[in-house]
Amino acid sequence: MIRELQLRILPEQAASEQSIAAYVAREQSMDIRSIKSVRVLKRSIDARQRTVMVNLKVRVYIDEFPQDDEFPRIEYGDVSGKPRAIVVGAGPAGLFAALRLIELGICPVVVERGKNVHDRRKDIALISREQRVDPESNYSFGEGGAGAFSDGKLYTRSKKRGSVERILQIFCQHGASVSILSDAHPHIGTDKLPRVIERMRNRIIESGGEVHFETRMERLIIDGDEVCGIVTADGREFNGPVILATGHSARDVYYMLHENGVELESKGIAVGVRLEHPQQLIDSIQYHNPEGRGKYLPAAEYSFVTQVKGRGVYSFCMCPGGFVVPAASGPEQIVVNGMSPSNRGSVWANSGMVVELQPEDFGARFSMFGVLAGIKFQEDLERQCYLNGNCKQTAPAQRMTDFVNRRNSFDLPRSSYSPGLIASPLHFWLPDFIAARLQEGFKYFGKVSHGFLTREAVMIGVETRTSSPVRIPRDRVSMTHIRLRGFYPCGEGAGYAGGIVSAAIDGERCAEALAMQIKQSSSFD
Ligand code: FAD
């Protein structure tokens, strides 16, 4: 017999399959030996009250064992010799596009400027060790894309629940823990995600697809109103329709498109800093317990949002138990971001703290760049940050309370940011329309969450790459660029995603539209 139950239990009761089974047996007056297995279908933590509870939906197997897999698996056939499509970029959008193409009987040819995820790890280590950023292999570029070395958070505001579940199941099929299927806030972790990405790549190759690393697309091959391939930096041509999934850090791609007269649109972004607290402090605030989280609760998360002078100020991409990382993708830039291991076990909690900006906010200095104004604004701020950070990857930083009170920090708390921090008056050199809003936002967050506004927290500059400042406009139905057939702008860089899962969903949608187009225009079946 199988029974599904909704439980609201203490963290220690929800700690393992055995402890849940023991609870169910006691509550339902059953012999625990009759419970053969417990499957958690949904798990969330309710920390609104002083006593923190865990809400669970569980499937209990009584006198029988589960017969089915925890998720359906996709069959990937052999696509060698089938029609080909070019996928530029092996981030989540590109990888999921490639896998979906295989499912639909199209042979993907993936072209990626960076290295494979294993070799990429060494270049990332060099950023901290030698203060050197390889412009082709860094936190943004390389197999797995921008999210490969991250918290691997897999939550999204997307309302397309079916599509989200499918993406999570594909991650599981390639080695991610099945807990991501039940957790309200699933995440994989930087120690596990690279292996999952590697398996996806192997799947593409085993199915007859191709993956070319250290191969940068330099330009599109355009014939009239149709894109029919790409040329790479080493002079090779790849022919076929093109899914462009190059992410928002590939500024050279936007410049190339603009120079070639490909229509682009400007869009808003959010810009600010990374804020780092001791995790113990966040645990004690969020779990209402000065002792912290105890043995059974995970590192606590937070999420804040408010409006200041007509613009949103909010926390972004929070990484509990994580590290602040140097995420620049070129020389003379400082850009920060966050990542966490799967156990979220570090002693720090970090999050982006950003202000929403619209294209009109960039100001007259940048408006002369038209549709590229947002990119110029980002570049300028990242360079200012580099100059204020001593022209290395050491990042300018300030205590949170000093920033709010417009005072210099004469010392800084310890931080996870491994290239090092330099005390700097961020309140002085950040554009005032960002600094003033962050100050008001921090005061408000400190009011609603007592203890959050503290001198123990450090702000680290700058977080500029929350999303793309440019959209590559496409037709809603055919998913192709509004003026160019055979060209599918995709993922975060094209302005249609804002995270790993939404990029993956967009990759799948572009692949489906492309496959449909190939099927309609040929006798292919
Ligand atoms: P990208 O991931 O940016 O991939 C683009 C790929 O294209 C890159 O691999 C790049 O090398 C390649 N490329 C670029 N130009 C070319 C070219 N000319 N030729 C060939 N290849 C090219 N999101 C979350 O949802 N959860 C998180 O926990 C999270 N943490 C993050 C942590 C960090 C440190 C960073 C940097 C980002 C994080 N993000 C997170 C954001 C997330 O990674 C992105 O939203 C997502 O990766 C976007 O996917 P994408 O495929 O559209 O683009």
Residue 216 has pLDDT above 80, yes or no: yes
Nearest CA to 342 out of 314, 362, 319, 365 is that of 319
Q: What CATH number belongs to 2-62?
A: 3.30.70
User: Average of pLDDT values for 419-439?
Assistant: 97
Which residue's alpha carbon is at the smallest distance from atom 41 of ligand 1? Answer: 499
Instruction: For ligand 1, atom 8, name the residue with the nearest CA.
Output: 145
Please list the residues that pair with 42 across neighbouring strands: 57
Q: What is the pLDDT of residues 371-399, one digit of tens each?
A: 999 999 999 999 999 999 999 999 999 99
How sure is the predictor about 5, in pLDDT bands with cuts at 50, 70 and 90? very high
Atom of ligand 1 nearest to the CA of 325: 34
Per-residue pLDDT tens for 127-185? 999 999 999 999 999 999 998 998 889 987 766 767 999 999 999 999 999 999 999 99
What is the 503 CA–ligand 1 centroid distance (Å)? 9
Residue pointed to by tokens 């600010």:
272
Domains 2-62 and 84-265+470-521 share a fold: no
Helix (H) or strand (E) holding 255: helix 251-259
Long-range contacts (CB closer than 8 Å, 24 or more residues apart) made by 445-448: 445/304, 445/306, 445/315, 448/304
374/361 Cα distance (integer angstroms): 9
Q: Which residues pair with 481 in a beta bridge?
A: 474
What pLDDT shows up at residue 151? 87
Indicate the Cα dihedral angle 320, 440, 326, 94, nearest 10°.
Answer: 80
Report percent pLDDT > 70 for the chain. 98
Q: Which atom of ligand 1 is nearest to the CA of 337?
A: 34
> What are the pLDDT digits (tens) for 461-505?
999 999 999 999 999 999 999 999 999 999 999 999 999 999 999
Residue 524, pLDDT above cutoff 80: no
d(CA 93, CA 103): 15
CA of 143 to the centre of ligand 1 (A): 9
CB 123 within 8 A of CB 133: no
Q: Quick one: pLDDT band at residue 506, thresholds 50, 70, 90? A: very high
Q: 308-358, pLDDT tens digit by residue?
A: 999 999 999 999 999 999 999 999 999 999 999 999 999 999 999 999 999
d(CA 458, CA 238): 47
CA of 141 to the centre of ligand 1 (A): 7
Q: List pLDDT tens digits, range 107-121.
A: 999 999 999 999 999
Q: In what order do the strands lie in the sheet with 487-489?
A: 210-212, 107-111, 84-88, 242-244, 487-489
Least confident of 33-37, 80-84, 172-176, 363-367: 363-367
| Ligand 1 center to 356 CA (angstroms) | 20
Domain range list for the chain: 2-62, 84-265+470-521, 268-463
Per-position DSSP letters for 383-409, written without gaps between them: HHHHHHTTTSS-EEEEEHHHHHTT---
**Tokens representing residue 490 in the block:** 């995709």
Look-up of token digits 């040329």: 231
pLDDT of residue 479: 98
DSSP three-state, residue 39: strand
Query: pLDDT (tens digit, 9 = 90+) per residue, 280-300?
Result: 999 999 999 999 999 999 999
The residue behind tokens 């645990």 is 283
Is residue 265 a contact partner of residue 471, using CB atoms and an 8 Å limit? Answer: yes
Start-to-end Cα distance in the chain: 44
| CATH no. for 84-265+470-521 | 3.50.50.60
How would residue 194 be classed by pLDDT, with cut points 50, 70 and 90?
Answer: very high
Work out which ligand 1 atom sits closest to the CA atom of 500.
25
Q: Report residues whose beta carbon is within 6 angstroms of any ligand 1 atom.
A: 88-94, 111-114, 139-142, 145-147, 149-153, 216-217, 245-247, 250, 253, 317, 325, 327, 337, 339, 491-493, 497-500, 503
pLDDT confidence band for 523 (50 / 70 / 90) = low
